[in-house]
Chains A and B, each alone.
Chain A
Amino acid sequence: MLKLDRVVTYYGPIMALKGISLEINAGEIVCLLGGNASGKSTTIKAILGIVRPQEGAVTFEGQRISGLGTGEIVRRGISLVPEARRIFGRMTVWENLIMGAYSRDGATQVELDQDIERIYGLFPRLRERTTQYAGTMSGGEQQMLAMGRALMSRPRLLLMDEPSMGLSPALVDQVFDIIQEINRHGTTILVVEQNAAVALSIAHRGYVLQNGSIVVQDSAAALLQADDIRRAYLGEDSS
């Protein structure tokens, strides 16, 4: 469904992504792992057109999207749950969700209301806060809002940038359960994460990014097993 082919991007004079290739098939959960400044967020930006690849191509459902504007790319069915949530703090929960559906030009109010209902079904806590300003909510609630907002555009591919960041372990489990449920309903998901263990626990496959290059790729099970890989690249013990 999504394919990156030897994508190279620059940050000023510095090469951020050094020719990475990866593939995501429809229906999968794929995780992209790596430490700080490994290029994870840059990959997301490259997919979404926020950063333009200098070389290489990004294709989505057979069509080349690298070089298109972000709005165009989003309209083709890709959505983002950004790092640090980045919900619109000065808007209410309901308004944030409605903004999520902005790219759906033809949607009727009835359809949008139904979708919002569905989101509230996934995240009951949001229903309680529908008129609350998003900026006043807790980190976990904001994460749910960010996910709900991303789902409002009915994406076929959902990009998630470090969903576990800043959340308590209990919340992390909750969030990743929901990610699995979203996937079960048919959405393909790319999760970018530093917390390798939890990401691999729900993913089908994984890539490991280091210094802008893919160093390992394998099935999630294999990655979880291989001790040396875990320690070398994911930098932690088995947990």
Chain B
Amino acid sequence: MTQPSSDETLCRRVAAGDEAAFDALVARHQGRAYRLAWSLLRDAEDARDVSQEAFLRVYRTAYGFRGDARFSTWFHRILVNLCLDHRRRGRWWRRWLVREDGEGEVDRHPAPVADPGERLGDDQRRARLWAAVGRLSPRQRAVIVLHAQEELTTTEIAAVLDCSEVTVRVHLHRAVSVLRQSLGGD
């Protein structure tokens, strides 16, 4: 039985013009890519568009992938940067869409819970936490999503965001502080 090709091998084949390798990479990562983009953007259409754009970047620039880093780290970097750029570009018009009573995009698109079989209390707690994630600054949100959802270490997050690990910890601490407050009397 043959071993499935690693991401890094597939990426090198994409660089050599192998279309099937690209399709394999997309099939392998599309779910996580879309979910990560959605967690950062909280808009299904935007998440679909930006995650597809990330795959197109991989297709066009696969020759620039250096084997010294993992493909997932390289791909996360492309995707997260696209999401942060997307939010930055959309900031001016987003203000017009946020209602004056304080209801923002996150409240209009509350994050569904991961496991519907959990107890109601945990569901509510998780829903409240993920809703509060949407109110974090873009960088804090990226750090908390990469850590809590994608299960990246602080070292890996630093590589994705191209910053120091200490900076990641500072963002993480501040994000957690905001989220602790969102739980209020829990």
Q: Do A and B come from one complex?
A: no
Interface residues of B (CB under 8 A from A): none
Interface residues of A (CB under 8 A from B): none
